[in-house]
Amino acid sequence: MKLDNFIHKRWMIRAIRLASLGRGFTSPNPLVGAVILDKKGRLISEGFHQESGMPHAEAMAFNNLQDDPSGGTLYVNLEPCCHLGKTPPCVDRIISSGIKKVFVSIKDPDVRVAGKGIRLLENAGIEVNLGLCENEALELNKSFIYKNLKGYSYGILKWAMSIDGRVGLKNGKSKWITTQESRSLVHKIRADFDAIIIGGNTLRKDNPLLTTRGFKKREPLRVVFTRTLDLPSKAKLWETELSSTLVVYDSSTANEGNLKRIPKNVSIEKIPSDDPKLLSRILAEKGCNKVLWECGPELATAAVKAGCIQEFITFLAPKIIGGENAMNPFSDFEFKSMNEVVNLNLQEIKPFSRDIFLRSFL
């Protein structure tokens, strides 16, 4: 790699690292970091998008300027915006700053930008270099990109199972398969998500809390998906001081008389079927880029079949639960041949406390 390229890459990696500090807080917006050098190549400012509604990365970097940026260079991992949203367009700020060179990793898939931001910069006589650290930038914002291109939330399914592949006893008891440390890691993992989804049966059986236990200031939305609305009148999810709850029900099958059991502080939405894809779309429309499915086998299978799951997180505990009727992580996909089974790419595997952590994707 030429020295120049190496230097540019180093600054962009710095922008990407800054961007990642906003993890879990920026939805529906992307993760963006910006670095500004003066005309001599000295770092004079940097910033990142901290939270939706707060200044964009470029704006924060301009607000933090220590010196004159004219003739300088900007590194930003996503194409600067050119539309008036909750904050003014970043392109205008870049043009008026006198910056002469802009490195951008990837275009913004948002139709309001999608290449227009780059064209405006070029029309103003700024040299724009697109594609620096493209892979790292795509990985960082994959859920934002997915949601913008497909209109659905990026879904990750998580489950914990014994070494013989069971997620619970045949009587439904599953507390606890993994260690306390693994469960604490799950609380931390949740902080990276905008919503956590379970099915009605998991609510009835486990009465879970589904929070980050304080890892995140703004807790993810907790979502219960139900066909029947046969939900208890007392549940931890009905306590919404720390974290909001949304119940989504299938109006073609639910007994709406059961709605009276759900307290008023819980949000309710109805959809016309039990298609998990509809739920994923509703959550995308609510601004959820990334959602964690923590459901049991029935809903997990329906969500995989519907194409709502892009990644899988598995905690494998060295325990044998056994039993022909003990719960599996999935119900029947009704595959007839090995050519039909769901093939995953293993991305990460590591021992964690006494368990094994695996991350795989489709």
Ligand X SMILES: NC(=O)c1ccc[n+]([C@@H]2O[C@H](COP(=O)([O-])OP(=O)(O)OC[C@H]3O[C@@H](n4cnc5c(N)ncnc54)[C@H](OP(=O)(O)O)[C@@H]3O)[C@@H](O)[C@H]2O)c1
User: Which residues belong to the active site?
Assistant: 58
Q: Determine which residue in the list 44, 262, 295, 321 makes contact with ligand X, applying CB under 6 A.
A: 295
d(CA 46, CA 33): 8
Q: Determine which residue in the list 271, 298, 358, 361 makes contact with ligand X, applying CB under 6 A.
A: 298
Q: Applying CB under 6 A, does 274 fall inside the site for ligand X?
A: yes
Q: Applying CB under 6 A, does 201 fall inside the site for ligand X?
A: yes
d(CA 75, CA 60): 13
The CB-of-230 to ligand X minimum distance in angstroms stands at 5
The CB-of-324 to ligand X minimum distance in angstroms stands at 17
Q: Determine which residue in the list 83, 205, 286, 319 makes contact with ligand X, applying CB under 6 A.
A: 205
Q: Which stretch binds ligand X (CB under 6 A): 70-78, 221-229, 261-269, 280-288?
A: 221-229
Q: Which stretch binds ligand X (CB under 6 A): 58-66, 94-102, 121-129, 220-228?
A: 220-228
Q: Determine which residue in the list 152, 193, 225, 357 makes contact with ligand X, applying CB under 6 A.
A: 225
Residues 96-124 as b/e (b if ≥16 CB within 10 A, e otherwise) read ebebebbbbbbbbbbeebeebbbebbeee
Helix (H, G, I), strand (E, B) or coil at 135: helix
Amino acid at 347: Q
Amino acid at 244: S
Q: Applying CB under 6 A, does 269 fall inside the site for ligand X?
A: no
Q: Which stretch binds ligand X (CB under 6 A): 96-104, 141-149, 213-221, 222-230?
A: 222-230
Q: Which stretch binds ligand X (CB under 6 A): 94-102, 232-240, 292-300, 352-360?
A: 292-300
Question: Residue 47 or residue 199: which is nearer to ligand X going by CB?
Answer: 199
Residues 25-40 as b/e (b if ≥16 CB within 10 A, e otherwise) read bbbbbbbbbbbbbbbe
The CB-of-178 to ligand X minimum distance in angstroms stands at 8
Q: Applying CB under 6 A, does 206 fall inside the site for ligand X?
A: yes
CA distances, 315 to each of 55, 189, 253, 354, 360 (Å) = 38, 12, 34, 10, 12
The CB-of-174 to ligand X minimum distance in angstroms stands at 4
* Binding footprint of ligand X, residue count (CB under 6 A): 29
Q: Applying CB under 6 A, does 299 fall inside the site for ligand X?
A: yes
Find, among 151, 155, 54, the residue nearest to 111 by Cα.
Answer: 151
Residue in this structure with the two tokens 């910033």, named with its chain if needed: 47
Question: In the chain, at which residue ranges do the beta strands (DSSP E only) sit?
Answer: 33-37, 43-48, 73-78, 101-106, 127-130, 154-162, 195-199, 221-226, 245-250, 267-271, 290-293, 311-317, 345-352, 355-361
d(CA 8, CA 13): 9
Q: Which stretch binds ligand X (CB under 6 A): 73-81, 97-105, 138-146, 294-302?
A: 294-302
Question: Residue 9 or residue 213: which is nearer to ligand X going by CB?
Answer: 213
Q: Which two tokens stand for residue 113?
A: 């930008």
Q: Applying CB under 6 A, does 12 fall inside the site for ligand X?
A: no
Question: Residue 77 or residue 314: which is nearer to ligand X going by CB?
Answer: 314
Question: Residue 31, CB half-sphere, CA atoms under 13 Å: how many?
Answer: 22
The CB-of-151 to ligand X minimum distance in angstroms stands at 19
Contacts of 223 by beta carbon, 8 Å cutoff, 6+ apart? 195, 196, 197, 198, 245, 246, 247, 248, 279, 283, 291
Q: Applying CB under 6 A, does 195 fall inside the site for ligand X?
A: no
Q: Applying CB under 6 A, does 296 fall inside the site for ligand X?
A: yes
Q: Applying CB under 6 A, does 247 fall inside the site for ligand X?
A: no
Q: Applying CB under 6 A, does 177 fall inside the site for ligand X?
A: yes
Residues 197-207 as b/e (b if ≥16 CB within 10 A, e otherwise) read bbbbbbbebbe
Q: Determine which residue in the list 29, 226, 245, 280 makes contact with ligand X, applying CB under 6 A.
A: 226
The CB-of-220 to ligand X minimum distance in angstroms stands at 16
Going 41 to 45 to 51 to 52, the CA torsion angle's sign is negative
User: Which stretches of the chain bind ligand X, using CB under 6 A?
Assistant: 159-160, 167-168, 172, 174, 177, 198-202, 205-206, 225-228, 230, 274, 276, 294-299, 302, 327
